[in-house]
Structure 1
Amino acid sequence: MSSALALSAVTSVLQTSLGLVYNSSALGTITVSAIAPDLVESKYGIGPDSGPLVNLFLHQVTPNAAWRNIDFPSLAADGSTRLKNPPLALDLHYLLTAYASDDTEAEALLGYGILMLHENPILPRALITSILGTLSSSTYNDALKAAGLDAQIEMIKLSPATLGREEMAWLWTALKADYRPTFPFQASVVLMRNDNPAVFSLPVLTRNIVVQPGVSAQLFGLQPPNDQSPTLVGDTVQVNGSALSTASQISIANPTTHVTYAFAPALGGAHDTSVSFQVPEDPANLPSGVCQLSLIFKNASGIVTQHTSNVVLGIGLKVAATPVPSAAASGGGTLISLTCDPQVRPGQNVYLILSSQTNSNMQVVAAQPFTTQTASLSFQFTPALTADTYAARLQVDGVLAPVASNWKFTPPATLAVLP
């Protein structure tokens, strides 16, 4: 593979190759430059009395689509362990421009250059080595010689490019230079890579493959209690599917808190078409929010497989039955403190929604900041709440809990907030 100087090395080889062509032509001494067109005019004084000149300009560099995804990911999941060292594959887009003051001289210059590119669709390795070897010794030129362009796995190919009149006009307008006869072409592919050490896996000494007859388990969906979502701690959830009788564990993963909670389906066990379980009462270890549910299977050979449902499980927060949520006047507003179940963790977004049963007004307030895992939450309502009866709902990470109501009373009793 080539180093980061591969782009410069390609341009240098093309520039020297064009110079050799013109020196052996009937046009005499021709200057071949490799700078931007606007710099050509200021440096060489392009005008009616200027000598003939050909300029090679790299106007665009694009990733090579064929090489871009040819290798595996270069880094492991931790973002630091290098598994592979794939090359950076690039296509180089050039403009070959002829400058001349005599009639038809620019056409002659362009003709020699285009013919050279046509007859040399591939830059031979020996040519690259020879041209870079003739460069005078300097820190920069020595680095070009060691760029490794002649040793990369794929050789440099030259092919014409097509630019319409509008694209060409836009390009020269952006270059802020006067248009001259130009031939666009492409050099592909340049493979650049640093010598980064990679980690290799150990060889596979033996293969233990067990094939057992049977139908693979499938998960069709979740059935929350009363067909309503979300679920609360203690609610019964049914997982519907097929070939579920051998499910040994249920796994609930919360991507926000990065917690995975596994337990056995103790409620009624597992059946062929369904598995029922109760959402565990473990406020410190099972967080609420949007969760991914999976069933874990273990066969007689000890092989463990996991099947994940494509339907998420929402576990809502509920206001603990005791102590009763308290409200206090604070700074011209109302501070409500309550206890929730399960506990919430830093990074989770928790809101308290109060809906007045008198005028149907609804107010939403975020929980006051907390830095540790806690079951105690405080909400500051400003201005102060008026004396009324409110329906209270907690929302965590987008999961909205049912209304905190006591159905033993008629009408149901809800959270009472005093001003």
Structure 2
Amino acid sequence: MSNGLAIAAMTAVFKNLIEDGLVQNAALSSMGNILVTTLPPDQISIGVDGQPQLNLFLYQVSQNRNVDLGKSDRYQPTHHQVSTEEGAILPLAINLHYVLTAYGNKDFQTEILLGYVMQLMHQTPVLSNARIRAALNHVATINRSGLLAQAIESTSVEALTEQLDQVKIVPNLLDTEQMSRLWSLLHGSYRPSIAYEISMVFIGSQKSSPGSSKEALNQPQIEKIVASPTNNQIVAGSSLIIYGKNLSADITLLRLNAGENLLEPQIVEDNRILFKLPHNLDAGVQKVQVVHQQLYKYQKDSELEVVSNEQTFVLHPTIQFSVEEQGCNV
């Protein structure tokens, strides 16, 4: 599920991260209340008695070139139990570019503010799913009459959280010429600033199918299957290791030979899965798929299933025999 609130929601999450960091920093208590805003720089004016201020301004939106959802077969997963609308519009992966500016009217205020915020961002390079959810819940409840809080009511915090899952915050250290050009475009009075880039945020069509955004991007991929230990032949009951990409999910299961019953692996990591074969398999060529399942709270009683490519392996037969001891009369 994707909607047009992604950009505003991400700005709100970024702002909330800064506000929480300032409150928890005892070294900044001497400055009093520090205002955090998201205004265009040309609308900010700090007077003689003005309080210190940090302003987070979104100055550019760009496409994430590392993801091409429309052209690569990798991002065309098979979905079971989900009806995918033909011609559905896949989401657009974008990066958000912010300039973070410190304002103060006393000696060293701007330097101290900028330094602590840069330290906070350096310690938080990735915003987790839980952190995004907490920030959006705060926005939705702290000021219910606010514009964004009312907009969130039209969708849900869970929907936006899934859409903004695992975003990265990277500093963009602009040189003097780039910074000068940026402030010239902003028509504001220059103040000490640092630019940040946030990726990845999805913008999608309301006609998109529920499984065409994050699930499409994170489709599991099997690269190879080996026995464990690796020098053993694969037989019924063997332990196998699957190597690949995006193998881990909320619920990770395995499907053998397109069967209905799914196997539960013993170890699941993003690039490795360890599981044990059943003892009742017939020898010959076998097929295995990684199956991701996730129950979305904002879609009642509907379960999405995303599967990987099929990978084959050969199951060797086992020979069983018994030796009957016969008695001898001497």
Bin for the TM-score computed over the shorter chain: 0.5 to 0.7
Trace 1:188-337 onto structure 2 (pairs within 5 A). Answer: 188-196=199-207
Q: Secondary structure at the match of 2:67?
A: helix
Q: CA deviation at 1:83?
A: 2.2
Q: Partner residue of 2:7?
A: 7
Q: Partner residue of 1:22?
A: 22
> Structure 1, residues 197-241: CA drift from partner, whole Å, max 9, x if none?
56xxxxxxxxxxxxxxxxxxxxxxxxxxxxxxxxxxxxxxxxxxx
Change (3 A) 1:118 1:70: farther
Q: CA deviation at 1:154?
A: 4.8
Match of 2:105 among 101, 107, 129: 101
The answer to whether structure 1 residue 137 and structure 2 residue 115 are counterparts is: no
What residue identity is the alignment partner of 2:144? Answer: S
Structure with higher Rg: it is 1
Preserved CA contact (<8 Å) 2:2 2:206: no
Q: CA deviation at 1:69?
A: 4.5
- Structure 1 or 2: more helix by fraction: 2
Q: CA deviation at 1:68?
A: 3.1
Q: Partner residue of 1:49?
A: 49
Gaps of 5+ in 1: 74-80, 199-419
Q: Secondary structure at the match of 2:126?
A: coil
Q: Secondary structure at the match of 2:60?
A: strand
Q: CA deviation at 1:106?
A: 0.5
Match of 1:121 among 121, 125, 141: 125
Preserved CA contact (<8 Å) 2:51 2:104: yes
CA distance in 2, matches of 1:197, 1:109: 42
What residue identity is the alignment partner of 2:129? Answer: R
Q: CA deviation at 1:70?
A: 4.9
Tell me how large the CA RMSD over aligned residues is: 2.4
Q: CA deviation at 1:144?
A: 3.0
CA distance in 2, matches of 1:116, 1:164: 22
Q: CA deviation at 1:9?
A: 0.4
What TM-score do you get using the length of structure 2 for normalisation? 0.53
> Structure 1, residues 245-288: CA drift from partner, whole Å, max 9, x if none?
xxxxxxxxxxxxxxxxxxxxxxxxxxxxxxxxxxxxxxxxxxxx
Gaps of 5+ in 2: 74-84, 210-330
CA distance in 1, matches of 2:150, 2:134: 13
Preserved CA contact (<8 Å) 1:8 1:144: no
Q: Partner residue of 2:237?
A: none
Q: Partner residue of 1:31?
A: 35
Change (3 A) 1:197 1:126: closer
Preserved CA contact (<8 Å) 2:56 2:98: yes
Change (3 A) 1:197 1:105: closer
Q: Partner residue of 1:386?
A: none
Change (3 A) 1:88 1:35: same
Q: Secondary structure at the match of 2:36?
A: strand
Q: Secondary structure at the match of 2:151?
A: helix
Q: Partner residue of 2:63?
A: 63
Preserved CA contact (<8 Å) 1:6 1:144: no
- Structure 1 or 2: more strand by fraction: 1
Identity in percent: 34
The answer to whether structure 1 residue 110 and structure 2 residue 114 are counterparts is: yes
Preserved CA contact (<8 Å) 2:169 2:196: yes
Q: Partner residue of 1:330?
A: none
Q: CA deviation at 1:172?
A: 0.8
Q: CA deviation at 1:194?
A: 2.5
Runs of 4 or more above 6 Å deviation: none
> Structure 1, residues 66-111: CA drift from partner, whole Å, max 9, x if none?
12355469xxxxxxx9524311111000011000111111111111
Preserved CA contact (<8 Å) 1:30 1:52: yes
Preserved CA contact (<8 Å) 1:156 1:188: yes
What TM-score do you get using the length of structure 1 for normalisation? 0.42
Match of 1:186 among 193, 197, 207: 197
Range moving further from structure 2, 117-126 or 64-73:
64-73
Q: CA deviation at 1:137?
A: 2.2
CA distance in 2, matches of 1:12, 1:154: 15
